Structure 1
Amino acid sequence: MSMDRNTQGSVTAPRIRIVEIDAFEREVNLRLPFRFGAATLEKAPQAFLRVRVENEEGKTAIGAAAEMMVPKWFDKNPALTPAQNVDQLRGSIRTAAAASLEASAPTTLFAAARLNEMETVRRLPGNPLAAGFGPSLIARAALDAYCRLAGISFFDAVRQNLVGIGGPMLPGDIDADGASAVLAGLRPAGSISARHTIGLLDPITEGEIIDPVDDGLPQSLEAVIARYGNRWFKIKLSGTVDADIDRLARIAAVLDRLPDYQVTVDGNEQFDAAEQLGALLAQIEAMPRLARLRAAITFVEQPFARAITMETPLGDLAAQLPFLIDESDDSDGAFAHARRLGYTGVSSKTCKGIYRSLLKAIRIKTGTVPGLFLSGEDLTCQAGLSVQQDLALVSLLGLSHAERNGHHYVAGMQAAPQAERARFAAAHADLYEQGADGPFLSIRDGRITIGSLGAIGYASGALPDFEAMEPLSVG
C-alpha cells in the first residue's frame, strides 16, 4: 500500500478515496419517553451509512456507521419542528456525501474528514453542530472500511496513526510528532463504567411508575440499580430550581443507599443566567439530605443556552465545581474560548466527529493547563454499530466512564431483523446478553465489557442489513 508522508512530523499514513456512499434510515421507537431540556423524545429515525473506499492499488472495501437523528439537540430553535430538525440532519448527510464524492485526489482519512467537515459547514451555514452530523458519519464509515481493507482494528489504526493525524489539515496549535506520540500511548481498557442517565420523566422509585412497561427491562432508577449495578449517574436538570431541588432530593434518597456513587449533572442549556444556576447550587449546599449527592458531583454539563454560553463567564461558579461544554462545542476553537470563561471540560461524542475527540485528547495531554478533562457523553447510541463505535472511541481515549442511555430508552436492537441481531450477538458475546427479543447491552456491576471491539474494522465484527432499511428520506 502506498504511503503519504505528511508535511508536519514523521507520520506516515495510507491515502484513500471515498468512491461510494449510500444512506439509509430506520425508525426507532423508545420504550420510555426521554425528556432532556425542553424536548421529549418518543421515537426518531436512526441513520446508517455504507461507504466504499479505494486504496491506491485500486482495492476497495465497505464500512458502516450509524447514529440516531435526534431532534431538539443539534438545534433547539423553537421555530423548527422535530420533523424539520430531522430533515436538517438528513440534509447534512446528503450535503456531506456530495462534497465527499467530489473530492477526487486520494488523501489520508484524517484529511478527508477535516476537508469534508469544513466544506459541509460552509455549504450549510448557521449551525455547525447540525452541519457536522453527516461528515461525522462519513468519517466513521470510511475508517471502518479502511480497517477492513487493511485487516486491522480501529485501535491499531489510531495508535499507529494510520488515520494520518498530521499534515496541513492539523490545527496550528498541535505538533504532529506530539500528536503521534499521544496516539501511540493510548491503551483501550477491557471494560468501562456505564454512567446511567436519569431523564426528566424517569420514575425514581417503583412506586412512582404510572404506566408500566412490561418488557422485562428496568423502568425506575431503583430497578436500574438492582439490575445493572450502576455507580455512575447523569442527572438531567430542568432549569426550574424548585422542581430540580425536589427531584434531586428524591434521587438522592435512592442513591444514598449505595456505598458509593458519582454523578454528573446536565443543564441541557436550560439555565438563563449564572445567577439562576448559582441559586440552585446554593440550595443544594444548604440541604443536609443532599450532602452526599453534592459531594458526588463530578462536573456540571452545559448549563446555558449555546446562544449565551460563550458570552457568559462562570465567575464564582467555576470555583465550586468543574464545568463542561457540550452543545457549545461546535468548532475547533470552542473549548479554548470556553476555558477563558472558566470551563475545564469538553465532551466526546461520535456525532461531533471522532477526529474532533482525538484532537481534544491530544490538546489536553500535550498542553500545560492542569485540570482539563474530556468526558464521554451519549446521544441515545443504539445497540449495534452506534454504541460499539462510541464505546471503542471513549475507551481508547482512556475514559473510565461514559454516559450510556440508548439501552435504557430502547429495547435492544428492536428495529433490526432477527438475522442482523444474531450476527451482532455472535460477534460481540461479551458486549450483549440475550433477551427474549434479541441482544441487549450487557451491564454488570455497573460496567460494560468491550474486549470484542478490537475486531477487524471499526469496533464491529458484523455489518447491518442495509437491504432491510429504507433509503434516506428526501424530507
Structure 2
Amino acid sequence: MTTAAPRFTVREIELYERPVKLRLPFRFGVVTLTHSPQAFVRARIELAGGPSAWGAAAEMMAPKWFDKNLALTNEQNFEQLRQTLRDAREAYLADASPATGFGHFARNHDDCLKRGAARGFNPLLAGYGPAQVDRAVLDALGRALGLSFYRAIRENAVGIDERLRPEFAGLGIEAFLARLRPASSIEARHTVGLVDAITSQDSTQRVNDGLPETLEEVVRTYGHRYFKLKVAGRVDADLARLEAIAAVLDRSGEPYFASLDGNEQYESPEGVAQLVSGIRERPRLARLWQSILFIEQPIARKTALQVDLRAADLGKPVIVDESDGELDSFVVARRHGYSGISSKTCKGFYKSLLNAARCAAWNREENAERYFMSAEDLTTQAGLSVQQDLALVNLLGVRHVERNGHHYVNGLAAEPEGEQQAFLQAHPDVYVRSHGAVRLKIESGRIALGSLDCTGFASAAMPDFGRMTRLY
C-alpha cells in the first residue's frame, strides 16, 4: 500500500560546520587530505494543516574533488561548497508554497545549478548544497510522518512524479521503488589511498594509536574481502604499487574483490588501456586482475563523456563518478560505453534513485545484467553522514560500499562524549567503542545495518549542533 505523499512548506534551514582532522593522510587524485570541514544542514518543515518537524544531514567538504582546478586553494574549495549551501538555503526558502518532498527538489534543482553556473561552478559542485538540503528535508518528513527512510521511499511518500521531472519518465518508478528490499548488512570496500602503507616495512611514520595503519593490518583487523585501489595515471608506478597490494591480498585463501579508481588521472581511453595491458602482462597481478569488478572514472571529466570507451580494450566495466554532474549524465555515459554509475549522497539521493531505476529498466530492455550502480565514499563520517549513505545504497540493493572515513579519521573521538554515547546507544550494531572513542563497527568485512530502519533518515540520534560553528 502506497503512503499518500503529503505537501509541506520548508520553514527554516540552518547551516553548520565543524572541523575534521584525519589520523592518516589520504591521497586521492591531485590532493593529499589531512583536514577538512564537515557540513551540517538542519531543516524544519511544516505539513499542510499538520505538525512541524526538524531533520538534518551531514557531508564532508572534500577539496579537489568537486572542482579540481589546481589554481584554487583547499580553503577556496571549502568556500565554494559553503556557497552552494547558502544558495540552496536561499532557493528552498524563497518559495513558501507547499509541495511534496520531490516537488521541492523538482522546482529547486535547476535553479540551484543555474545559481552555481553564474558563479563559475560546475554542476557536480553546484549540486552539493541542494543534495544536503533534500536529505535534511526528507529526514524531517520521515519524523513528521513516523516513517523510516526505507518505508518513505518504498511507499513513495516523497511523491516522485515523472510529470514534475521528465528524467523520471518511462522507468516505472513507483513499481521500482516498491520492489526495493534493504538487507541486514553490507560489505565494506576498503580504500587503499595513494600514500597508504601496504606493509609494516612501508610504514615509516606511524601514528601508533592502536588502530590499523597498513593494508595488511586493515585486512587482519577488519577482515575485508572488498577493496578499492587508487591509481595515479603513471603506469609504471601504478603497476609496481598494484604488485605490492596484490602480494598482501593474494595471501588469503578466500576470494577477494576490487575496484580500480582512476580519479580522472588519465586523459584518454588509450592511457587506461596501457594500464590494463600492463596488469594483464604481469604474472604477479593475475589474481588481482581476475578480482577487479570495475574501473571507476579513469578519464578526466572534461573529455570523459566525449570519447567512446568501446574502441578501447579495457576488459572490465567502467563507471562514471566525477562526471555525474547532471540528471542525464548517466544517459550520456551509456551512449559512450559506460556500464555503471556511482551513488554518493553528496550528489543527491534522488539522482541515485533515478540512476538505479535506469539500471533496472535498461537491463530489462537488453535482457542482460549490464548496467549497475556502485557505492562510493566521500570520506563520510560517523553519525548522520555515514548512516544516511549506508541506508541509501542498502535500499538500492548495492551489496558492497566503499568506506574510508572510519579509516582516515579516528571515529567520533573529536566529538562530545554525549554525542558519541547517543549514537552508540541508538545504533549498537553500527558502532563500537574502542581505543577511546565510538567508531564504525566492521566485523568479517561487513557492517550491520538493522538499526538504520528507524524513524527519519536512518538516524535515531542527533549530533550536538550547539558545539558547531553556525554558518547561517
In the TM superposition, what whole-angstrom CA distance separates every residue of 1:307-348 from its partner, at most 9, and x where no partner exists? 111112213436611000000011111111111111000000
Query: Aligned partners of 2:394, 2:470: CA distance in 1, in Å?
Result: 32
SS of structure 2 residue aligned to 1:264: strand
SS of structure 2 residue aligned to 1:197: strand
Query: Aligned partners of 2:398, 2:184: CA distance in 1, in Å?
Result: 12
- Show structure 1 runs of 5+ residues with no match: 1-9
Letter in 2 for 1:462: A
CA RMSD in angstroms, aligned pairs only: 1.3
Query: Aligned partners of 1:421, 1:138: CA distance in 2, in Å?
Result: 24
Structure 2 length as normaliser, TM-score?
0.96
Note if 1:85 corresponds to 2:77. yes
> What does residue range 383-402 of structure 1 map to in structure 2 within 5 Å?
383-402=382-401
Note if 1:308 corresponds to 2:303. yes
Structure 1 residues 182 and 29: alpha-carbon distance in aligned structure 2, compared to 1, 3 A threshold? same
- Greater Cα shift, 363-372 or 314-323: 314-323
Which residue in the other structure is 1:3 paired with? none
Structure 1 length as normaliser, TM-score?
0.95
User: 2:426 touches 2:451 (CA, 8 Å); kept in 1?
Assistant: yes
User: 1:284 touches 1:294 (CA, 8 Å); kept in 2?
Assistant: yes
User: 1:113 touches 1:139 (CA, 8 Å); kept in 2?
Assistant: yes
- Cα deviation, residue 231, structure 1: 0.3
Letter in 1 for 2:409: V
Letter in 1 for 2:441: S
Letter in 2 for 1:228: Y
Query: Aligned partners of 2:29, 2:353: CA distance in 1, in Å?
Result: 28
User: 1:420 touches 1:465 (CA, 8 Å); kept in 2?
Assistant: yes
- Cα deviation, residue 170, structure 1: 2.8
Aligned length in residues: 463
Query: Aligned partners of 1:342, 1:175: CA distance in 2, in Å?
Result: 22
- Greater Cα shift, 357-366 or 32-41: 357-366
Note if 1:421 corresponds to 2:420. yes
Letter in 2 for 1:252: A
User: 1:425 touches 1:433 (CA, 8 Å); kept in 2?
Assistant: yes
> What does residue range 22-421 of structure 1 map to in structure 2 within 5 Å?
22-125=14-117, 126-172=121-167, 174-175=169-170, 178-258=172-252, 259-317=254-312, 320-367=315-362, 368-369=365-366, 370=368, 371-421=370-420
User: 2:162 touches 2:168 (CA, 8 Å); kept in 1?
Assistant: no
Query: Aligned partners of 2:239, 2:167: CA distance in 1, in Å?
Result: 45
User: 1:121 touches 1:131 (CA, 8 Å); kept in 2?
Assistant: yes
- Show structure 2 runs of 5+ residues with no match: none
In the TM superposition, what whole-angstrom CA distance separates every residue of 1:389-427 from its partner, at most 9, and x where no partner exists? 000000000011010000000000123211011100100
SS of structure 2 residue aligned to 1:145: helix
User: 2:310 touches 2:336 (CA, 8 Å); kept in 1?
Assistant: yes
Which residue in the other structure is 1:6 paired with? none
Query: Aligned partners of 1:328, 1:162: CA distance in 2, in Å?
Result: 30
User: 1:346 touches 1:374 (CA, 8 Å); kept in 2?
Assistant: yes
Query: Aligned partners of 2:188, 2:122: CA distance in 1, in Å?
Result: 30
Query: Aligned partners of 2:275, 2:101: CA distance in 1, in Å?
Result: 45
Structure 1 residues 344 and 352: alpha-carbon distance in aligned structure 2, compared to 1, 3 A threshold? same
SS of structure 2 residue aligned to 1:200: coil
SS of structure 2 residue aligned to 1:24: strand
- Cα deviation, residue 436, structure 1: 3.2
Query: Aligned partners of 1:175, 1:52: CA distance in 2, in Å?
Result: 33
